[in-house]
Structure 1
């Protein structure tokens, strides 16, 4: 095995919902950066400047992972591999504490019972999660996926295995706003993406999660960036950090799910949604997962 190839095996928990993970990574039907098979997943990522293919074969209780880099991995990149794998496999948040917390809850308990073992699948990095949040905000999902694909093809790099790798901050920082707006990005999205990338690339914004797990400093730093608001920060924490207590009160789908759950005629407003979600601290991320899932379980959906 070459120095650029590494193999490792990750144990999967009982009741692991493989189809959820594969569905998340197969949203782009053109398979530009992710390729999904019946029991396999390939994803291209850039780790500290190196183009890397994560090739995962799923067994009954394990995921056999082959890491193929186009160049020697730095110590920083090597350290990022395990976290990236755990994120894209949805292993960052254990769903059992939330299941226990809501077991006797008359409203949320049945949602959790209907989706046992439901997990949150993360992006491979915090930067990927945050840029995806910016790209996807306030537009429909098919258009967001198309913009994401364009973004990858513009700023990413192709791995020798064929997949494109999601760009890092340095790659995006080299773009101009016109590069994005000429490809159907709004000027506001383009400016925010470039602002974020340039701050991260210059070292003025550190996206690393502190060893303590406290996301407060990261949240405050992100909120100080023009164009980034609470929804983007919370969604970025959810997809990029595996933070267990994200409040998605500004999310339209969360409000729609809550309307159905409470059997009300109109969606609750953002303030009321935030107040209602607060009673499920410190498990609001898993609550969001189940509220999202509940929309797809309704007979008319």
Structure 2
């Protein structure tokens, strides 16, 4: 099945932010940056799907090639995945209006207009990435993510690998991951999550109340508040995630505000309170501040 979807893009849309997020794995196992945009493979209802996005100044033209015939649920999931991948869930204008006079983030918003939250294609992908990335450096996390794709996912007929779904991961044995540099605790958490989702005990449906999802996720051994908030941000596009436990967020506050020491978690939580109900965009700008060159 081959189909095409077109998503209009707002003025000032930052294509490079999207390409940077999806191009983190330079080996291009499941995502590949092209001269026109990007290619990504995902499994939807067990069907390998290739998404090809070509950017024009005013639109993202998306060509979808599925190795099968997706049903209505898979077609909706595909539309949701594209909104996520393109960063179109959260309109940044509301935060820009609210923060333009803020002494900490106001100048940053003025320097970087139109910053968006780019998301993982699915909630399950966002959650597994959050678990994988806990307390390790980015390059090692990307390598572990690549491993998960290759042991649990499947290649599309084009050759690009597809990110797995919960049932694919739930079929793995612990040794499939620990034998490939996953810590035992990380492997157990990934498999535990996948089994709960595959069995229908834990629903990651997008229409669910994020607070209810948060409570259920926090009850899963190995998943803490940072993982939940990151998943709400990268998976659901929830606009008010508090990333006070994130080291990069705390480092950014220290860089922007000065002082002798980096804010601790409690202080970062207090600092983020003033950006409610837009704390997700606040985190995005704090992350972006760390990449700015000194002026």
TM-score range, shorter chain: over 0.9
Could you tell me which residue of structure 2 aligns to residue 93 of structure 1?
A: 90
Deviation at 1:9, TM superposition (A): 0.8
Q: How is 1:1-301 mapped onto 2 (pairs within 5 angstroms)?
A: 4-210=1-207, 214-299=209-294
- Post-superposition shift, 1:5? 1.1
| Contact residue 209 and residue 218 of structure 1 kept, 8 A | no
**What is the TM-score with the length of structure 1 in the denominator?**
0.96
Residue 38 of structure 1, CA deviation: 3.0
Task: Kindly state the Cα deviation for residue 103 of structure 1 after the two structures are TM-superposed.
Answer: 1.0
TM-score of the superposition, structure 2-length normalised? Answer: 0.98
| Distance in 1 (alpha carbons) for counterparts of 2:190 and 2:151 | 13
Q: Distance in 1 between matches of 2:254 and 2:36?
A: 36
List per-residue Cα deviations over 1:55-109 (Å, max 9, x = no partner): 1111110111111100111221111111101100111111100000011112210
In the comparison of the two structures, how many residue pairs are matched?
295
In the TM superposition, residue 39 of structure 1 has moved relative to its aligned partner by 2.4
CA RMSD of aligned residues (A): 1.0
Q: Secondary structure at the match of 1:243?
A: coil
CA shift, 1:225, in A, is 0.4
Shift in Å at residue 299 of structure 1? 2.7
Distance in 2 (CA, whole Å) between partners of 1:234 and 1:25 is 20
> What SS does structure 1 have at the residue aligned with 2:242?
coil
What SS does the corresponding residue of 1:117 show, helix, strand or coil? coil
